[in-house]
Amino acid sequence: MKLYNPQDVEQHAQKLWQDRDTFTVKQDSDKEKYYCLSMFPYPSGQLHMGHVRNYTLSEVIARFQKMQGKNVLHPIGYDAFGLPAENAAIKHKTAPAKWTYANMADMSEQFKRLGFAFDWSRQLATCDPDYYRWEQWLFVRLFKQGLVYRKDATVNWDPVDQTVLANEQVIDGKGWRSGAEVIRKTIPQWFLKITDYADELLAALDDMPGWPDSVKTMQKNWIGKSKGLEIDFEVPEFGSISIFTTRPDTLFGVSYMAVAPEHPLALQAAANNADLAEFLTQCSKEQSNEAAMATMEKKGKPTGLMAIHPLTGDKVPVWVANFVLMSYGTGAVMAVPGHDERDHEFALKYDLPIKRVIAGDGDIQATAETDYGILVNSADYDGLNFEQAFERMQHYFQQQGIGRLQINYRLRDWGVSRQRYWGCPIPIIYCDACGAQPVPESDLPVVLPEDVVFDDTGGSPLKKMPAFYETTCPQCHKSAKRETDTFDTFMESSWYYARYACPDYDEGMLSDEANYWVPVDQYIGGVEHAILHLLYARFFHKVLRDQGLVNSDEPFTRLLTQGMVLKDGAKMSKSKGNTVAPQELIDRYGADTVRLFSMFAAPPEQSLEWSDEGVEGASRYLNRLWHQVQEFIAKKHAVKPLNTENLSSEQQQLRYKIHQSIAKVTSDIAERHHFNTAIAAMMELTNALSKYDDNSDNGVALMHEGWLSLVKMLSPFVPHICQALWEDMQQPGLVAETDWPQVDETALVQDEVEMVVQVNGKLRARIRVSAEANQSAVEKIALAEDNVQRFVDGKTIRKVIVVPKKLVNVVVS
Q: How many alpha carbons lie under 13 Å from residue 498 in its C-beta half-sphere?
A: 29
Neighbours of 381 (CB within 10 A): 20
Q: How far apart are the first and last CA of the chain?
A: 65
Strands (E) across 263-363 are located at: 300-308, 315-321, 332-335
The piece of 28-36, 230-238, 412-420, 467-475 that touches RNA (CB under 7 A) is: 412-420
- The interface with RNA within residues 519-578 (CB under 7 A) comprises 527-533, 564, 571
According to the binding rule CB under 7 A, does residue 603 interact with RNA?
Answer: yes
- The alpha carbon dihedral of 472, 477, 479, 484 has a sign of negative
Name which position in 167, 282, 367, 789 contacts RNA (CB under 7 A).
Answer: 167
The Cα–Cα gap between 313 and 303 comes to: 19
Binding mask 285-304 for RNA (x = CB under 7 A): ----xxx--xx---------
Q: Which is nearer to RNA, 31 or 620 (CB)?
A: 620
Q: What is d(CA 433, CA 499) in angstroms, rounded to the nearest whole number?
A: 38
Would you say 125 and 77 are in contact if contact means Cβ atoms under 8 Å apart? yes
Report the nearest approach of RNA to the CB of residue 641 (Å): 29
Instruction: Report the nearest approach of RNA to the CB of residue 191 (Å).
Output: 10
Q: Rule CB under 7 A: choose which of 677, 731, 738, 750 binds RNA.
A: 677
User: Is 593 among the residues that bind RNA (CB under 7 A)?
Assistant: no
Fill in the amino acid letter for 406: Q
Task: Pick one of 385, 457, 607, 775: the residue that binds RNA (CB under 7 A).
Answer: 607
Under the criterion CB under 7 A, does residue 789 sit at the interface with RNA? no
**Residue numbers 96-155 binding RNA by CB under 7 A:** 153, 155
Name the segment binding RNA (CB under 7 A); options: 359-367, 440-448, 470-478, 759-767: 759-767
Amino acid identity, position 642 = L
Q: Which residues of 556-565 are buried (b: 16+ CB within 10 A; e: fewer)?
A: bbbbbbbbbb
Give least dist CB 424 to RNA, A.
12
Assess 317 for contact with RNA (CB under 7 A).
no
CB 324 → RNA: shortest distance, Å? 14
Neighbouring CB atoms inside 10 A of 595's CB total 27
Cβ closer to RNA: 222 or 505? 222
Establish if 668 lies at the interface with RNA (CB under 7 A).
Answer: yes
DSSP-assigned beta bridge partners for residue 560: 524
Nearer to RNA (CB atom), residue 394 or residue 661? 661
Binding mask 332-371 for RNA (x = CB under 7 A): ----------------------------------------
| 206 is a site residue for RNA (CB under 7 A) | no
- Applying CB under 7 A, which of residues 276, 659, 764, 781 lies at the interface with RNA? 764
Query: Does 683 help bind RNA (rule: CB under 7 A)?
Result: yes
What H or E segment, with its residue span, contains residue 278?
Answer: helix 274-284
- Nearer to RNA by Cβ, of 485 and 554: the residue is 485
Rounded to a whole number of angstroms, the minimum distance from the CB of residue 261 to RNA is 16
> Considering beta carbons, is residue 124 or 306 the nearer one to RNA?
124
Q: Enumerate residues 229-288 that contact RNA by CB under 7 A.
A: none
Residue 691: Cβ-neighbour burial (10 angstroms; 0-12, 13-18, 19+): exposed
Q: Nearest CA to 20 among 788, 736, 804, 669? A: 736
Q: Where are the alpha helices (DSSP H) in 44-82?
A: 49-67
708 contact partners, CB below 8 Å, separation of at least 6? 729, 731, 741
Q: Counting contacts by CB under 7 A, is residue 1 touching RNA?
A: no
Among residues 50, 75, 82, 228, which is the contact residue for RNA, using CB under 7 A? 82
- Near RNA by CB under 7 A: residue from 54, 156, 408, 598: 156
602 lies in the site for RNA, by CB under 7 A: yes
Could you please report the per-residue DSSP string of 505-547? --SSS--THHHHHPSEEEEEEEGGGTTHHHHHHHHHHHHHHHT
Binding to RNA by residue 183, rule CB under 7 A? Answer: no
- Interface size with RNA, residues (CB under 7 A): 104
Find how far residue 415's CA is from the centre of its chain.
Answer: 20
Task: Using DSSP, state whether 482 is helix, strand or coil.
Answer: strand
Residues 440-459 that bind RNA (CB under 7 A): none
Neighbouring C-beta atoms of residue 649, cutoff 10 Å: 7
Answer whether 748's CB lies under 8 Å from 659's CB: yes
Residue of 488, 554, 779, 785 interacting with RNA (CB under 7 A): 488
Tally: H helices and E strands in the chain? 25, 32
Q: Which of 14, 303, 394, 419 binds RNA (CB under 7 A)?
A: 419
Report whether 215 contacts 223 (CB < 8 A).
Answer: no
Q: Where are the beta strands (DSSP E) in 7-147?
A: 33-38, 71-73, 77-78, 124-125
From candidates 142, 348, 756, 783, binder to RNA by CB under 7 A: 756
Cβ(580)–Cβ(51) under 8 Å? Answer: no
The CB density around residue 763, as the number of other CB atoms within 10 Å, is 12
Query: Which of 376, 377, 614, 731 touches RNA (CB under 7 A)?
Result: 614
* Position 56 contacts RNA (CB under 7 A): no
Does the annotation place 31 within a ligand binding site? no
When binding is defined by CB under 7 A, the residue of 20, 576, 620, 795 that contacts RNA is 620
Neighbour-count burial of 419, counting CB atoms closer than 10 A to its CB (0-12 exposed, 13-18 middle, 19+ buried): buried
Q: What's the min distance (Å) between Cβ of 610 and RNA?
A: 9
User: Which residues fall in the annotated binding site for ATP?
Assistant: 574
User: Which residues fall in the annotated binding site?
Assistant: 574
